[in-house]
Amino acid sequence: MKHSELRKQTVLQMLRTAKRLTISKAMEVLDVSESTVRRLFAQLENEGLAIRVYGGICYNDSLLAGGYFEPKRFKNPDEKVRIGHAAEQLIKPGDIIFLDSGTTVMALAVEIDRMITEARDASSRLYDELSQKYSGITVFTHSLANFEMLKNHMKIHLIGGEYRETKRDFYGYMAEEVLRSLRFTKCFIGADGFSEEDGILAADFSTARINQLAIKNSAQKILLVDSSKLGKTPQVSISPITSINCIVTDTAIPAEVASRLRNAGITVICA
């Protein structure tokens, strides 16, 4: 995927969640100049995907409701938004958290940023509560997008390594060595597929290895995955499904599957 297309899809995912995006926030997350952001915003408006407003851009609900928004990289965006919101409720003061670089986990980072930003603009009391909560939380991530969204809200560490442009993350030997030395109260990971029989699956070995280490070193293991991934079997196994404490998914997951997972001791949250 070209850099310009990757930036476009990142902005669309953020708009799908937050409905509005400022020029300064886009510059921060994408790590590009103001002129680049303005050109991107103009392109999105010309394609009917968004509407430019003073200082930023707004999500165009009326045009996208017809199904035009369906980029391969961000399938099932509505489900991801709900999953991100439900996952945020699981974060508690004092947590030490790992966030992986998948788009469903990115929806969690977007939701945190949205909540704090909107509270700052609208409610000093709510903003104080959120600030107090997140001031005591430490986040580790190998995702550059997650880092850029959260760096102004909490203590966050970016795990380095070899950079992967397609995912805007870091991977490889250096990232794995850092993860081996860390311990988390919670990890939030995504998956390219999952099932009761095959467990949690990834499309590539590098992603699988990062998530294996995060699961091994976390007290609570939380899988964020929309129901469209159920039954898909990408090539690489991350771990058995029973290694997970909690699955946050959407309401389209079959009731009998959710019931069996709960009987296996897994908390299932359908957002």
**83 in the same domain as 143:** yes
Contacts of 260 (CB under 8 A, 6+ apart): 196
| pLDDT tens-digit series, residues 142-168 | 998 899 889 989 999 999 999 998 788
pLDDT at 170 over 80: yes
pLDDT over 70, % of the chain: 93
Q: What is the pLDDT of residue 86?
A: 96
**257 in the same domain as 154:** yes
| Count of all residues that appear for the chain in the document | 271
pLDDT at 66 over 50: no
pLDDT at 52 over 90: no
**37 in the same domain as 20:** yes
- Find the range with the poorest average confidence among 110-124, 155-169, 193-207, 209-223: 110-124
Q: What is the pLDDT of residue 1?
A: 53
Is the model more confident about 246 or about 66? 246
Instruction: Name the residue among 20, 217, 200 with its Cα closest to residue 104.
Output: 200
- Find the range with the poorest average confidence among 120-129, 180-189, 254-263: 120-129
Name the average pLDDT for the chain: 89
- CATH number at 52 reads 1.10.10.10
- CATH number at 217 reads 3.40.50.1360
**166 in the same domain as 38:** no
**50 in the same domain as 152:** no
Question: At 171, is the secondary structure helix, strand, or coil?
Answer: strand
**29 in the same domain as 92:** no
**155 in the same domain as 32:** no
- Show the domain range for 118: 75-270
Domain count, the chain: 2
Q: Which residues of 168-198 are buried (b: 16+ CB within 10 A; e: fewer)?
A: bbbbbeebbebbeebebbbbbbbbbbbeeee
Tokens of 93: 């003061």
pLDDT band at 134 (very low <50, low <70, confident <90, very high): very high
* Domain final position from 68, 93, 123: 68
pLDDT band at 20 (very low <50, low <70, confident <90, very high): confident
**131 in the same domain as 47:** no
pLDDT at 119 over 60: yes
CA distance 55 to 114: 17
* Domain final position from 51, 68, 85: 68
Contacts of 15 (CB under 8 A, 6+ apart): 21, 50, 57, 58, 59
| pLDDT tens-digit series, residues 188-205 | 999 999 999 999 999 999
**256 in the same domain as 124:** yes
**152 in the same domain as 50:** no
* Domain final position from 68, 83, 108: 68
Q: What is the pLDDT of residue 70?
A: 37
**83 in the same domain as 61:** no
Residue linked to tokens 């165009």: 60
Q: What is the pLDDT of residue 63?
A: 41
Range picked from 55-59, 124-128, 214-218 for highest mean pLDDT: 214-218
**48 in the same domain as 104:** no
